[in-house]
Structure 1
Amino acid sequence: MLKGCAAMVLGLAAMSANANIYTATLSGAVEAPPNESPGTGTVTVDFDIATHTMTIDVTFSGLLGNTTAAHIHCCTAVPGTGTAGVATELPTFTGFPIGVTFGTYSHVFDTSLAATWNPNFVNTFGGGTIAGAETAFMAGLESGSAYLNLHTSFAGGGEIRGFLQPVPEPATFALLALGAPVVLLAARRRRGK
């Protein structure tokens, strides 16, 4: 029984190991330096290193300036603070709405393509390879040292941004739910001996 539960737990962990979801709330208060923009937004990034796909969904409104660029920066020295160079394509995401103060965006990127990445990020963090860039980017997302930034005519360095944070997957909750009875059973058996 214990071995069967352990195998199921490991199987669920393997299923969730490749695809990861990250979210952030965007605001001027999170910018470096912070600004008084009333703009807000949300972003969800679904990064699957096994299939080389990254889906980015952004919603934003209330900007003081018109959008000029949007991309993900990585990797800050301290998670959740500081600045970093652009990791994703330049000058902005393919098809991102430019010249607006509100909008939505959704795009699926092929992360095995060089065009998805800033060449400086590939060389600096990825050791000169796309596979290295994917691995470094995943590490930045996992550690909270990657952020999405919306640049505008009001704030060229960025009007609103948010640090991407991992979202626990249902499989993670399943692991916890399955693991608790296993631990309790093992503790009960130890007490009985």
Structure 2
Amino acid sequence: MLQRVTKGCAALALGLASMSASADVFTYTATLSGAIEEPPNASPGTGTVRVDFDTDNHLLTINTTFSGLLGPTTAAHIHCCTAVPETGTAGVATELPTFTGFPIGVTSGTYSHTFDTTLAATWNPSFVTSFGGGTIAGAEAAFLAGLDAGTAYLNLHTEFAPGGEIRGFLQPVPEPATFALLALGAPVVLLAARRRRGKQ
């Protein structure tokens, strides 16, 4: 019985892993606050962000919601890459002077946009030079590495805090297949433990 369950789980795990590998969309999230700014500030503003990076199709989708800012917005960017994860500051990685279509002059709002990461306009030229080795492909790779390492952050700049009123370091969200593999392994471990106890 245990052998059949183990083989079935292994087959399902392989299927899930192959489905996951065929669609390379990496998801990152963060909670934004003034306490995370460098230096920290007392802004009551809050926000959330989700970033989906489809490396197969070279698409970067940014969805954010924010409210309670002390000053009207002046710009929003993703900065990358800090020397230490979840701390410090870094230059702007994404387009300048702000995200295309980002709501400016407001203290609350939402934003959703998909960028083509093969276009030079998506990137800050300094980031392409400093981190990407002068190529867009290099910038994409460096940006993905920064996201994975927790050294990239979304920053909302306002009149109250021109250097950034609220920000949050983006963290990877485990892929659904990872959760599925963990869930599949649990019954196998439980069955093995049960069987071992029965033999004692």
TM-score, reference length from structure 1: 0.89
Q: Residue 15 in 1 paired to residue 19 in 2?
A: yes
Question: Match of 2:148, SS?
Answer: helix
Question: Partner residue of 1:145?
Answer: 151
Residue 181 of structure 1, CA deviation: 4.4
Distance 2:130 2:17 in 1: 31
TM-score, reference length from structure 2: 0.86
List per-residue Cα deviations over 1:93-146 (Å, max 9, x = no partner). Answer: 000001111111000111111111111111111111111111111111111111
Total equivalences in the alignment: 192
Question: Partner residue of 2:49?
Answer: 43
1:52–1:36 CA distance, 2 compared to 1 (3 A) = same
Q: Gapped runs of 5+ residues in structure 2? A: none
CA RMSD of aligned residues (A): 2.2
Structure having the higher Rg: 2
Q: What percent identity do the matched residue pairs reach?
A: 81
Q: Gapped runs of 5+ residues in structure 1? A: none
- Which residue, 161, 174, 186 being the options, matches 2:180? 174
Q: Residue 136 in 1 paired to residue 145 in 2?
A: no
State the one-letter code of the partner of 2:20: S
Distance 2:14 2:132 in 1: 29
1:186–1:32 CA distance, 2 compared to 1 (3 A) = same
State the one-letter code of the partner of 1:13: A
CA contact (8 A) 1:9 1:179 kept: no
CA contact (8 A) 1:141 1:165 kept: yes
1:154–1:167 CA distance, 2 compared to 1 (3 A) = same
Distance 2:195 2:134 in 1: 53
